[in-house]
């Protein structure tokens, strides 16, 4: 069984990116699962807090990531870049630095995202690449999924309602799972 962990970079209840992960969970190919991990309780990074011990929410996130065959990052785009709350969670997951290898090292990662704007999350996705390189992951370049004008693709509760986008998402996750399986 191929186990993928998905992380949404949005905290909003009706988040398009969380909705994208929920839709992906239902579209996983046979023999693959998607577990959605939360960053909701991850505090702002503070080295003093780290010195007192890694917070439980961070430990839970890291354990989910360590147990995964691959990571699926659903990123919003705020002001043409990575959302601070998402970057903060990934920064915490890299602490202590000695854990970077077991959390990220060589792990296949795919980035996708949804945004109300006309360009989707192209800039945020590009901004993740140096971070993922620094952490030693293996980004998947075989597909790109950008949901622009997300208000038309999702309902008010953040559920994907656009059937053409659902099919693109099915192809995206199938391609990523194939990449992850080749890396095993």
Whole-angstrom distance, CA of residue 55 vs CA of residue 150:
33
Which of these ranges, 3-7, 143-147, 169-173, 179-183, has the smallest mean pLDDT? 179-183
Structurally, the chain folds into a number of domains equal to: 1
Element (H, E) at 74: strand 70-74
What is the reported pTM?
0.96
- Distances in whole angstroms, Cα of residue 121 to Cα of each of 32, 108, 111: 26, 20, 10
Residue range 148-166: mean pLDDT, rounded: 97
CATH number for the domain spanning 101: value is 3.40.50.360
Quote the domain boundaries for residue 30. 2-183
Q: Please, what is the average pLDDT of the chain?
A: 97
pLDDT score recorded for residue 171? 98
Q: Distance between CA 56 and CA 142 in Å, rounded?
A: 35
Q: What are 138's two structure tokens?
A: 């293996």
């Amino acid at each position: 069984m191929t186990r993928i962990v998905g992380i949404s970079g949005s905290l909003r209840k009706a988040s398009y990116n969380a909705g994208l992960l929920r839709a992906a969970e239902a579209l996983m190919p046979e023999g693959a699962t998607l577990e959605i991990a939360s960053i909701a309780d991850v505090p702002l990074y503070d080295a003093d807090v780290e010195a007192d011990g890694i917070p439980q929410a961070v430990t839970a996130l890291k354990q989910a990531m360590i147990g995964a065959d691959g990571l699926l990052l659903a990123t919003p785009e705020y002001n043409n870049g990575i959302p601070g709350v998402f970057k903060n969670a990934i920064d915490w997951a890299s602490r202590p630095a000695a854990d970077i290898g077991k959390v990220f090292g060589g792990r296949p990662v795919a980035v996708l995202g949804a945004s109300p704007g006309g360009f989707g999350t192209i800039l945020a996705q590009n901004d993740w690449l140096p971070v993922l390189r620094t952490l030693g992951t293996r980004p998947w370049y075989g597909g790109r999924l950008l949901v622009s004008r997300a208000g038309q693709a999702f309902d008010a509760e953040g559920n994907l309602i656009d059937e053409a986008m659902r099919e693109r998402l099915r192809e995206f996750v199938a391609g990523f799972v194939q990449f992850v399986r080749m890396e095993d």
